Homo-oligomer: A and B are copies of this chain.
Amino acid sequence: HVIFYSTNMRLRLPLLCIILEVILIILFGTLVEYNDDTHAKLWNENRTDSATRNDHENEFYYRYPSFQDVHVMIFVGFGFLMTFLQRYGFSSVGFNFLIAAFSLQWATLMQGFFHGLHHGKIHVGVTSMINADFCTGSVLISFGAVLGKTSPVQLLVMAIFEVTLFAVNEFILLSILGVNDAGGSMTIHTFGAYFGLMVTRVLYRPNLDKSKHRNSSVYHSDLFAMIGTIYLWMFWPSFNSAITNYGDPQHRTAMNTYYSLAACTLATFAFSALVNPEGKLDMVHIQNAALAGGVAVGTAGEMMLTAFGSMIVGFLAGTISVLGYKYLTPVLESKLKIQDTCGIHNLHGMPGVLGAVVGAVTAALASPDVYGHGLQRVFADVETGKWNPQSRGGFQAISLAVTLGMALFGGLITGFILKLPIYGAPPDTHCFEDGLYWEPFSDPLVIPPLAKHIHRHA
């Protein structure tokens, strides 16, 4: 028993990190090249060839501010959102940091491999950086489901599999089915949520209530979490618009997301007070449900959804998210044995599915009357002449089904792999506890016997 639950990471974590990084470095060395916009020779050759091409047309200036906003969402947004647990702040920010730093490298390779090699090489630039961050976001969503119950070794192993399957699913959706999903309602949120929910289902701990006194927030940890929430909320317009086409699509997507989130926030406050017997607001709802509006316009945001349409979607997303936290999460745990620490089903799962449906409907309603010459800048198949709004809507709907299937199947397999007793997972009595994986720290607030107990145990 002691061997199974030993969380000593002295060899396992370093070895895994070093082996992974060495593999990454070798693969990058053999497969990865600068693209036309980052290569000294190629960028300047093209400049000479064409008098109209100037430095300001380098994709850097169109996408880098969005990239940095996305980067903040990944590292500060997700990282601090999960610090709400009273005694898991180091691990929330720290493991988020570790698995994101790994995933973005691995994702560059996987996405590059599936999305098209150039003479056997993967070309990288700011767009690949954004896509890698997006894929990383999906892994961090799944992290939210298993938060506090997994070792960093388990999380890295999960990331290896999830990134790979993410790239496969993304390839099927974007390259084979040719659907739209610039903000990732399907590829990022739905995939990450149902993958993570399946993993946590497989890793079900019947005795998790032994750690329930730590599975909650304190006053200051909720304020740290609000840093994450607010950054995610503010920069979601950049997230959804980061890889849309230049010009009107990027501009429109950012604005649609802005309105969706604003309406979502009012719905969140309204329903948070409404479902409470005393009419009091719940920080869990504010921290999470207010973001559902960004998830739910992840597919349709680049389309002519209108501000009005965006606000309706955002309002619905906030509503179902709060109701999910209040009524569905307890049922998922008690009936389906899904222990979802952060409630990702309410923030990413249901709003992601809503976003996919809204995307399918909006695509099916698209017409040249509304989009004019801009139609082909949103729907890629217009140029190939295969464009048909109804079938487009149909493909969008099929994509949702594919994503759900990939996520649930991938999560199932990955869950069983993570169940092997070799990763130093925390015991049921010490979930949600930084002391297991971090150097002893001083905290005037901690109950001293707890700290001692941890050290004896580990």
Q: Which residues of A contact B (CB under 8 A)?
A: 8-15, 17-18, 20-21, 24-25, 28-29, 32-34, 37-45, 47-48, 55-62, 64-65, 68-69, 71-72, 75-76, 79-80, 83, 86, 89-90, 93-94, 97-98, 101-102, 104-105, 108, 124-126, 129, 152, 216-220, 222-224, 226-227, 230-231, 233-235, 237-238, 246-252, 254-255, 258-259, 261-263, 265-267, 269-271, 273-274, 276-283, 286, 290, 304, 306-308, 311-312, 315, 370-375, 377-378, 437-446, 458
Contacts and interface: CB of A to CB of B under 8 A. Distances in A.
Given A152-B269, A247-B60, A276 B10 contact: yes
Q: How many copies does the complex hold?
A: 3
A248 B280 contact: no
Contacts of A126: 251, 254-255
A56 B230 contact: no
A75 B230 contact: yes
B41 A270 contact: no
B438 A281 contact: yes
Contacts of A271: 14
A213 B261 CA distance: 36
A60 B254 CA distance: 9
Contacts of A101: 261-263, 265-266, 290
A279 B105 contact: no
B79 A230 contact: yes
A76 B222 contact: no
A10 B441 contact: no
B246 A55 contact: yes
22 contacts: A18-B266, A28-B306, A32-B307, A40-B370, A40-B377, A47-B247, A48-B373, A55-B247, A60-B250, A68-B234, A76-B230, A97-B290, A101-B261, A102-B262, A126-B251, A129-B258, A217-B442, A218-B442, A218-B443, A280-B439, A282-B438, A283-B441
